[in-house]
Amino acid sequence: MIEIRLYNTLANRLEPLDPVHPGEVRIYTCGPTVYASAHIGNFRTFVFQDILRRFLRSQGYRVIQVMNVTDVDDRIIHSAAAAGIGIREYTEKYIQAFLEDIDALRIETPEEVVRATDHIEDMVALIERLQQKGLTYTSDGSIYFRISKFPGYGKLSKIDLTGIQPGARVDVDQYDKENVRDFALWKAPKPGEQFWETRIGPGRPGWHIECSAMSMKYLGDTLDIHTGGVDLAFPHHENEIAQSEAATGKPFVRMWLHAEHLIIEGQKMSKSLGNFYTLRDLFAKGHKPSAIRFLLLSVPYRRQLNFTEEGLSQARHSVERLRNFVARLKAEQFPPGSNPEVRKLMETAEKDFDLGLANDLNTAVALAAVFDLVRDMNTTMDGGTFLQQDAPRAIAAMEKFDEVLALLTDQDTETLAKLGFAPDRPRLLAQEIEALVEERNAAKKNRDFRRADEIRQKLADSGILLEDTKDGTVRWKYK
């Protein structure tokens, strides 16, 4: 097994993965807050987590991943109250849409997807433990965590605690580092808002307690990996550490992994700024799920990802390149035998792919290994030195990469149709295709490569693939 090193925000450095239970990695992922549809910034983070789990599995680990769905927080309560419905009813359609969206992006569903509102009792029990230890106080019916009683407070986000006012409180779920204060574990009911009658009084949970309660319930007191976007490190994850470690006296998480943001025109994509695309916005513009997945995974998770539609078009071509290569491997006849040089290329690529991902999930290195291999193998095929027995070996290599990348199988049309997009494209008639192919040949002869590429793309958009053969003629086929 190769050593897998990941950047642990808590330690501020790369560390070798060292799971509590050998051979098994337990991961907790902060899931979506379901007051609106998730946007592709959110999916950047969820795709990173998918690469993580797929890579760990490809390396022989068993993975248990728990993802919560935040279906109660300030924004949900307000939106549901404004709509005049209960929060379960309000959040249901967003939960369904989220599950469809992750499916469209081929993000594997975690072993457990759990809702906060199904775990009120677990949260109450955890708050009681904190109360028994004298770490909380009540004010106006709300219960707060006294951060001055937890010496480790600030260790994840490295905030400066000098000058904080003991007893100063913050009531909102989301706040910034200017507001390092005692935070709400439990909030007193407000008129018109949904609340629960519990042993600790009527009310509803603060945002942070759900993740401590649910992660420890399903994964034990000490988790191997906890993930989220960088915006969650403070206050959310800092507060999770305080609640959990104060209750159990044990380390809560071995490794904290945080994904950098997806940005658009220089700003973080976010619901509050209104500068976001949902997946469905992009599908409506004709972008494919696989291209979006490619784009989101192509930039290593600790680098900001600058989203552009131009980038999406390139991503689409990259996916097509991989798929066409495998199609060529399956369709073409090669001379008998096997070429040790070609095998060596494959072994090197496989090694580089794994080493890239083992180094803090460096997807850029891993993809470079794959695309270099595709280029080199295409060259050997064109030169006639790629041999018959190399083909199944190459297909196996591509399929192995795809256990992590999940791009090769073309499910785009089916996925889009399922979500109500992509009305069946009118199929071009054979004579229309011939005419376009001829026009493309003429364009190429005149060195008008732009027009030639446009035509190729137009045909591809209608499900037609072109193959330029060695003797200069062009073959086409339906995808």
Instruction: Work out the angle at residue 158's Cα, subtended by the Cα atoms of residues 187 and 225, and round it to the nearest 5 degrees.
Output: 75
C-alpha to C-alpha distance for 43 and 101, rounded to whole angstroms = 9
Side-chain half-sphere of 30: how many Cα atoms within 13 Å? 24
Judged by CB under 6 A, does residue 205 bind ligand AMP?
no
CB of 64 to ligand AMP, least distance (A): 19
Q: x/- binding map, residues 29-58, to Zn ion, per CB under 5 A?
A: -x----------------------------
DSSP H helices in 30-119: 40-58, 74-83, 87-104
CB of 95 to Zn ion, least distance (A): 16
Judged by CB under 6 A, does residue 439 bind ligand AMP?
no
Judged by CB under 6 A, does residue 41 bind ligand AMP?
yes
Judged by CB under 6 A, does residue 293 bind ligand AMP?
no
Closer to ligand AMP by Cβ: residue 174 or 413? 174
Residue list 422-441, contact with Zn ion (CB under 5 A): none
Q: x/- binding map, residues 230-249, to ligand AMP, per CB under 6 A?
A: -xx-----------------
Closer to Zn ion by Cβ: residue 126 or 428? 126
Q: Which stretch binds ligand AMP (CB under 6 A): 17-25, 40-48, 368-376, 445-453?
A: 40-48
**Residue labelled with tokens 């950098």:** 260
C-alpha to C-alpha distance for 357 and 364, rounded to whole angstroms = 9
CB of 104 to ligand AMP, least distance (A): 17
353 to 45, 51, 181, 318, 411: CA distances (angstroms): 21, 13, 45, 17, 24
Judged by CB under 5 A, does residue 211 bind Zn ion?
yes
Judged by CB under 5 A, does residue 259 bind Zn ion?
no
Closer to ligand AMP by Cβ: residue 29 or 198? 29
Q: Find how far residue 343's CA is from the centre of its chain.
A: 33
Among 8, 9, 33, 212, the residue binding ligand AMP under the rule CB under 6 A is 33
Closer to ligand AMP by Cβ: residue 90 or 353? 90
What residues contact residue 396 under an 8 Å CB cut-off, 6+ apart? none
C-alpha to C-alpha distance for 229 and 183, rounded to whole angstroms = 21
Judged by CB under 6 A, does residue 44 bind ligand AMP?
yes
* Structural tokens at position 234: 């403070």
**Partner from ligand AMP, Zn ion, none binding residue 32, C-beta < 5-8 Å depending on class:** ligand AMP
What residues contact residue 213 under an 8 Å CB cut-off, 6+ apart? 119, 122, 123, 125, 126
Radius of gyration of the chain (CA): 26
Judged by CB under 5 A, does residue 214 bind Zn ion?
no
Closer to Zn ion by Cβ: residue 116 or 319? 116
Side-chain half-sphere of 374: how many Cα atoms within 13 Å? 21
**Partner from ligand AMP, Zn ion, none binding residue 231, C-beta < 5-8 Å depending on class:** ligand AMP
Judged by CB under 5 A, does residue 464 bind Zn ion?
no
| Residue 270 DSSP label | -
C-alpha to C-alpha distance for 289 and 309, rounded to whole angstroms = 13
CB of 219 to ligand AMP, least distance (A): 17
- 339 SS3 class: coil
DSSP H helices in 140-288: 209-219, 238-248, 279-284
**Partner from ligand AMP, Zn ion, none binding residue 206, C-beta < 5-8 Å depending on class:** none
Under rule CB under 6 A, how many of the chain's residues touch ligand AMP? 17
CB of 39 to ligand AMP, least distance (A): 7
Residue list 263-282, contact with ligand AMP (CB under 6 A): 268-270
CB of 173 to Zn ion, least distance (A): 11
Q: Which stretch binds ligand AMP (CB under 6 A): 121-129, 187-195, 200-208, 226-234?
A: 226-234
**Residue labelled with tokens 């009540």:** 138
Closer to ligand AMP by Cβ: residue 94 or 401? 94
C-alpha to C-alpha distance for 326 and 394, rounded to whole angstroms = 8
Judged by CB under 6 A, does residue 297 bind ligand AMP?
no
CB of 214 to Zn ion, least distance (A): 9
**Residue labelled with tokens 């519990």:** 198
* Structural tokens at position 307: 């989203």
Residue whose CB is nearest to ligand AMP in the complex, by number: 229
**Partner from Zn ion, ligand AMP, none binding residue 211, C-beta < 5-8 Å depending on class:** Zn ion
CB of 29 to ligand AMP, least distance (A): 8
Closest CA to 360 of 306, 297, 302: 302
Side-chain half-sphere of 470: how many Cα atoms within 13 Å? 7
C-alpha to C-alpha distance for 200 and 129, rounded to whole angstroms = 11
Count of Cβ atoms closer than 10 Å to residue 286 Cβ? 12
Q: Which residues bind ligand AMP (CB under 6 A)?
A: 30, 32-33, 41-42, 44-45, 228-229, 231-232, 259, 261-262, 268-270
Q: Which residues bind Zn ion (CB under 5 A)?
A: 30, 211
